[in-house]
Structure 1
C-alpha cells in the first residue's frame, strides 16, 4: 500500500518553481502527480506523468523539491526519451548511464541558475567533462555507477512503476510538441523583458523555435525518394511469363518487372572542397543506397573538377579514390555519367556549388548535395540538400 503523500508540500514546491521560473509554468502544471512507493525519488514517463515517492517528499525541503520539479520537467521538454531512442542499441540498454548523461545536460544549467538540488545530483565536472554539452556527447565520458532513476520519460526504458496509457491523465505527443514550443516562446519573452536566461535553456529555445535541419536526414530522404521514383518505372520481360499465360493457348504473355535503378555519384574534387565533408556525404549516400538494395555495379562514382579525373564502380564509400584539385565544372561529370552505356536514372552531385550547371533538366533525377553554408543556389529544378561543414 502506498504511503500517504504530502501533496500540500509537493504542490507548494511546484508553485514555487513556477513562480521563480514563470517560463516553465505551462510545462510544470502539465505534469500529472502519481504517488508511488516504487519510484526512488521522483521520475517521469513519456506521457508527462510525474511519479513521486512520499518518503522522498517528506525528507526533502520545499526549495530542493522545486528544483527537482524543474529537473524532471526538463527531461520532457528536451525530449530525452525521444533522443535516447535514437542511440545505438547497446547504449539504450545501459539506461543508467544514459540517465546520468542526461542529468549532466540538465544540472549544469540548473545549478548555474542558482537552483538548489538534493544531495547526490551529478554535474559534468564530476566526470571531468565540459559544461554546456548535449547528453549524447557526455555519454562516452560517463562511467556506470549507482544513480537515482528519472524514469522512462528520461531514458526511454519502461519502469515497473509506469502506468498504462489509460492509468492516469496524460499528454499526447502532439500536445507535448506544442508545450515545448510554448515554453520556448515564453523563454524568449522572458529574456527580452528581463535580459536573463540560463545559457542551456537559451540554446534549447533557439533550437525549438529555429531548428537546424539535419542534413544527413534530408540527404537520406532525398536519395530514398529518388530511388523509389526511378524504381517505379516498369518494363515487360519474357524471362518470367505472365500468370495469365496458361489461360491462353499458343501465346506467351510477358510480365511486368520493376528494375532497380542505376545511380551515378559525381564528386567535386576541386581545390575548394574538403576531404572530410566529401567523405561524410559520400558515406551517407552509399549507406542509403545499400539500404534500398542499390549496390555493386549499379552504382558508379565519378571524381570530377574541370574534367573527369576518374571513373570507378564501387560497392562502398571506402573504395573511392578521389583525384583532381583544379577548377570546377560539374556539367562535365553529369554529361559523362549520362553518356554511359548503362545510363543512370538518378545522379547525385556532391559539390561546394561553385560550378556551372546544365542549362536544362536532364532526363533523370538530379540531386545536388551542397557542402558549406555559402554555397550558391543551383537552378530550381535541381533537388538541393545543404551540408553543414560543422555538423
Structure 2
C-alpha cells in the first residue's frame, strides 16, 4: 500500500473485485471475511481502510494505479486488522497506558501493521513497496501489536509513514469520513463474531495452509468466551494494583518533601509495572484439556497486566516445582509432572524468585495442601471444577474432601 497520487474519477469495481477474488484464492481460509466486507468509495483515504463495522473504504486513485496482485494483498491486510480485533485491542491499550491523541493512534496503526505484514505477503500475494515490516523499525518479527508498541516511538524511522491510515478498524479512532454505527451496510456484533468463528474453523480445517500466527489466532478465537476469564483477569488486576503492589522508592525522581530538608535528598514512591508468577498444577489429577486451558489462561493473565509478557513467569508444579519459565509464547512452555500435588513447593519457588512477584496466581483442581501462613503478596486461585460427591478426590478414601483454598486467597472457579 502506497501513498496517494492523482485522483481517479470513478472507482474501478471490476479491478477491485478481481483483486478480492485473487486474495480469496491465495488465502481460502479468509474468504468468508473478505466477502463480508462492504466497499465504500472514498477520496479521503490514502489507499484502503476499514472501520470496526466491517466497511472497507477505497480510494479510486489507489485502485487505478495499483496492480491487481498488490490490491489482493491490500484486501488481506485490511481484513486482518478486523479479524485480529486491532480496534478493540487499541482501545484497551489506550486506556491501560494512558495513550491519547492522533500521534499515539498512528503508533498503534504502525504496530498493528507490524503484527500482520510479516504474515500477509508471499505465497501468492505480491509484496508492495512502502509498507512497514518489523524489520523496517529494526524490530523482531512474530510479535503482537502490544509488544511492538512498547519498542518504538515516532521519529526518523517512521517519518515516511505519516500518511498511513487504515481507519478505525486498525487503531480504534473514529474518522470523520466513516459512516459510524448508524450508517448503512455495517455488520452487527453478532454478525462480526460469526465471521470470525467461520474463519477460525476454516483455518483449523486447513492446518497445512495457514501461518503460525493465523493458527494461534484461530485457537484463541475458537476457545469460547467464558465468564471466568473476565473474573480471573479482574482478580489479577486487583491483586497486582493493590496498595503496596508494584511500589518502591526511587532516587530517580526525588521527593517533593526534600525542599523542607535542605541538603537532604529523599526518594519518592513510584509505581512500577507489577510482576505476576503463575503456578500451574501438573499433577495426575489435572487432565490434558485442563492443562491446555491453563495455558490459555496464562495468555489472558498477561493481557490483564497490560500485555507485558516479560513480567509474567510460569512454574509447573506437582509434588515438586519445575523450572521457572518467562512467558514468551504460551505454547512453548513445557508442563511436566503427573505425580501428586503439593502446591506449597510452588508457592516457595515463586516467592524465592528475584525480583519477588507482586501477585501469585495458582491454577489447580484444589487437591493440594496449602501454605499455613499468608504469603507476602496477593494470591489468586483459579480452581478447575471437581464433583466431590463422585469420590474423585482420594482413591483410598472416597469420602475425603481436601481443605479448600485459604481465606486470604481470591478464588475464581474456572468452568
- The answer, yes or no, to whether TM exceeds 0.5 is yes
Q: Which residue of 2 aligns with 1:120?
A: 130
1:280-309: CA deviation from partner (whole Å, max 9, x where unpaired): 426x9xxxxxxxxxxxxxxxxxxxxxxxxx
Q: Which residue of 1 aligns with 2:99?
A: 90
Distance 1:270 1:164, change over 3 A: closer
Distance 1:101 1:329, change over 3 A: same
Contact 1:35 1:53 in 2 (8 A): yes
- How far did 1:113 drift? 3.7
1:25-83: CA deviation from partner (whole Å, max 9, x where unpaired): 11001101100111111000000000000010001011100100000000000000000
- How far did 1:224 drift? 10
SS in 1 for 2:40: strand
Q: Which residue of 2 aligns with 1:371?
A: none
Do residues 204 (structure 1) and 210 (structure 2) align?
no
Give unmatched runs, 5+ long, in structure 2: 1-6, 239-343, 362-367, 384-399
Distance 1:218 1:112, change over 3 A: farther
Do residues 167 (structure 1) and 183 (structure 2) align?
yes
Q: Which residue of 2 aligns with 1:129?
A: 139
Q: Which residue of 1 aligns with 2:261?
A: none
- How far did 1:23 drift? 0.9
In the TM superposition, structure 1's runs of 4+ consecutive aligned residues that sit over 4 Å from their partners are 211-217, 222-225, 271-274, 348-353, 357-362, 364-368, 382-386
- From 20, 25, 29, the equivalent of 1:14 is 20
Q: Which residue of 2 aligns with 1:35?
A: 41
Which of the two has higher C-alpha Rg?
1
SS in 1 for 2:109: helix
TM-score of the superposition, structure 2-length normalised? 0.57
Q: Which residue of 2 aligns with 1:110?
A: 120
Do residues 179 (structure 1) and 257 (structure 2) align?
no
Whole-Å separation in 2 of the counterparts to 1:140 and 1:383: 31
Whole-Å separation in 2 of the counterparts to 1:224 and 1:107: 32
1:81-103: CA deviation from partner (whole Å, max 9, x where unpaired): 00001112326751111111111
Contact 1:127 1:141 in 2 (8 A): no
Contact 1:85 1:156 in 2 (8 A): yes
| Greater Cα shift, 270-279 or 67-76 | 270-279
Contact 1:60 1:118 in 2 (8 A): no
Whole-Å separation in 1 of the counterparts to 2:59 and 2:130: 16
Whole-Å separation in 2 of the counterparts to 1:140 and 1:222: 25
Distance 1:352 1:12, change over 3 A: closer
Do residues 153 (structure 1) and 162 (structure 2) align?
no
- How far did 1:117 drift? 3.7
Contact 2:112 2:145 in 1 (8 A): yes
Contact 1:80 1:154 in 2 (8 A): yes
| Greater Cα shift, 102-111 or 157-166 | 157-166
SS in 2 for 1:33: strand
Whole-Å separation in 2 of the counterparts to 1:48 and 1:352: 36
Q: Which residue of 1 aligns with 2:29?
A: 23
- Provide the aligned length of Structure 1 versus Structure 2: 273
Whole-Å separation in 2 of the counterparts to 1:161 and 1:52: 12
Contact 1:44 1:50 in 2 (8 A): yes
Distance 1:219 1:197, change over 3 A: closer
Whole-Å separation in 2 of the counterparts to 1:103 and 1:220: 27
Give unmatched runs, 5+ long, in structure 1: 226-266, 285-327, 337-347, 369-381, 387-391
1:130-189: CA deviation from partner (whole Å, max 9, x where unpaired): 111101111122332324200001101011210133322011122111211110110111
Q: Which residue of 1 aligns with 2:348?
A: 270
Whole-Å separation in 1 of the counterparts to 2:401 and 2:353: 25
CA-atom RMSD in angstroms: 4.0
Whole-Å separation in 2 of the counterparts to 1:126 and 1:351: 42
Contact 2:47 2:59 in 1 (8 A): yes
Whole-Å separation in 1 of the counterparts to 2:127 and 2:16: 15
Contact 2:48 2:57 in 1 (8 A): yes
Pairwise mapping of residues 292-311 of structure 1 onto structure 2 (< 5 A)?
none
Distance 1:197 1:359, change over 3 A: closer
Do residues 62 (structure 1) and 102 (structure 2) align?
no
Whole-Å separation in 2 of the counterparts to 1:329 and 1:272: 16
